[in-house]
Amino acid sequence: MPASQSVALPLRGQFRNLYTSLKRARLLERTPVIFCEGDSWFSTPLAMNLLDWIVSPAPEDEERGIPLLGQGGLFFRAEHSGDHASRNEDHPKRSMFVPENIEDIIGWYGKFDFDLILLSAGGNDFVDQFLKRTFAGQQNLSAEAAFQRVLDTGKYERVRQAYALFVQAALAARPNAPILAHSYDYPQLIGRPGALTPGNIGVAALLKKSVGPWIGPHINAIVHADPAKTPDERRRFGRMLIDGFEKHVLRELKHDARFAGRFDYVDLRGTLAAESQWFDEMHPSEAGFHALATKFRTAIIAKLPPAKR
C-alpha cells in the first residue's frame, strides 16, 4: 500500500478476502492488521470520528510530520454507536463485553493474525438511563455527593469486569496482540443537544431528529448554593465521571497482573478544553476528534511490531 493509505472494512467476508490477498502477496509482513470494537467515538457518522482520523488522516498531517501508519493498515471495524461495555439492561443486544458477544467476536478474531486491538467502550454505561435511575428522587446534591452515589452503584466495577472478560478472551486467542483503549475527555456542553444543521454536519442533519442530551436532563439534583454556579457544579460532576472511569476501570486493568502488560490505554483527558471542540455533551466535533487522534495514533504506532510502524 502507498504510504499512510489504510483500508477499513466492517464486513467479515470483505475483510477475509482482502486479508487473504495481502497474505498471498506477502504484504502482511509490513501491513498493520488492527481489530476495532467500540462505541460512537469510533463510529459516529455525523463527522470524521476518532477512528476515521486514524484510518484516513488528513493530508496536512503528513505535511506537518504527524506520525502516520507507515505503509497503511488493514482495519476490521466492529463498533456501533450506543453500545455499552457491560450488559445494557434496557437494550441487551447493545452490549459489547458479554459472554455471548465475546464468544462470537473472539471465535472469528482468533482466525487472523491481528497485530493490535483498539477499544472504545464504557462511556454509554454511565449516562442516560443509568443517571436517571441513580438520581431518581434525589435533590440538593453537591458534585461530590452525586459522584458518591455513582460509586455506590458498583457500575465501575461491573464495567471493569466486563472489560476484563473481553481482554482475557482476546489474549487467550492471540497472546501477542496488545490491546489499547482510551479514556474519554471532559464534557464541556452539559445539557446541550448536538446542533443538527446542514452547515454543521451536512445532509445527515436532514435524517436525524435529535442528538442528545444524555447527561444534563438527568442531573437536575446537582445544585450549588449559589444558583449561578450550578452549571459549573454539574460540569464538575462530569469531570468526576470521566476521572472515575480512568481510575476504577482503565488504570486497574492496566495494572492487573493477569494481563501482564498486554492491556494499555491512552489518557485523552484535558485535550479538548474549548467548547468549540465539542459537538454535543459526549461527542467532540470533527476538529476535536482530529486533535484526539493525533495522540491516539502515536500510541497505536508504538504498539505495532517494528516492521509495521
pTM of this structure: 0.91
Query: Is 301 inside a domain boundary?
Result: yes
Task: Encode pLDDT of 1-20 as tens digits.
Answer: 334 568 888 889 999 999 99
Query: Is 292 inside a domain boundary?
Result: yes
CATH number for the domain spanning 65: value is: 3.40.50.1110
Query: Is 221 inside a domain boundary?
Result: no
The position carrying cell 464541556 is 188
- Whether residue 208 has pLDDT greater than 60: no
3-state secondary structure of 273: coil
Q: For residue 158, give every residue at least 6 positions away whose Cβ sits within 8 Å of its Cβ, in sequence order, or none.
A: 86, 87, 125
Angle at 301 between CA 297 and CA 305, to 5 degrees: 160
Task: Encode pLDDT of 246-265 as tens digits.
Answer: 999 999 999 999 998 999 99
Residue 47 binned pLDDT confidence (cut-offs 50, 70, 90): confident
Q: How confident is the prediction for the chain on average, in pLDDT? A: 90
Task: Encode pLDDT of 54-81 as tens digits.
Answer: 998 777 766 666 656 656 799 999 999 9
Query: Is 24 inside a domain boundary?
Result: yes
Query: Is 267 inside a domain boundary?
Result: yes
Query: Is 131 inside a domain boundary?
Result: no
Query: Is 180 inside a domain boundary?
Result: yes
DSSP state, residue 184 = P
The H or E element containing residue 120 is strand 116-120
> What cell numbers appear for 303 in the block?
504498539
- Determine whether 254 is exposed, middle or buried from the number of CB atoms within 10 Å of its CB (0-12, 13-18, 19+): middle
Q: Mean pLDDT throughout 205-219?
A: 71
Query: Is 297 inside a domain boundary?
Result: yes
Residue 206 binned pLDDT confidence (cut-offs 50, 70, 90): very low
| 94-130 burial: b if 16+ Cβ within 10 Å, else e | bbbbbeebbeebbebbeebebbbbbbbbbbbbbbbeb
Task: Encode pLDDT of 129-138 as tens digits.
Answer: 999 999 999 9
At residue 2, the pLDDT reads 38
- Number of structural domains (the chain) is 1
Residue 51 binned pLDDT confidence (cut-offs 50, 70, 90): very high
- HSE, side-chain direction, 13 A CA sphere, residue 201: 23
**Domain that residue 282 falls in:** 7-125+154-195+246-308
Q: For residue 116, give every residue at least 6 positions away whose Cβ sits within 8 Å of its Cβ, in sequence order, or none.
A: 32, 33, 34, 35, 177, 178, 179, 180, 300, 303, 304
At residue 56, the pLDDT reads 85
Q: How far apart, in whole angstroms, are the C-alpha atoms of residue 246 and residue 163?
A: 13
Q: Mean pLDDT throughout 104-118?
A: 96
Q: Mean pLDDT throughout 164-176?
A: 97
At residue 66, the pLDDT reads 61
Q: For residue 294, give every residue at least 6 positions away whose Cβ sits within 8 Å of its Cβ, in sequence order, or none.
A: 61, 66
Q: Are 296 and 69 in contact (CB under 8 A)?
A: no
Q: How far apart, in whole angstroms, are the C-alpha atoms of residue 51 and residue 301?
A: 14
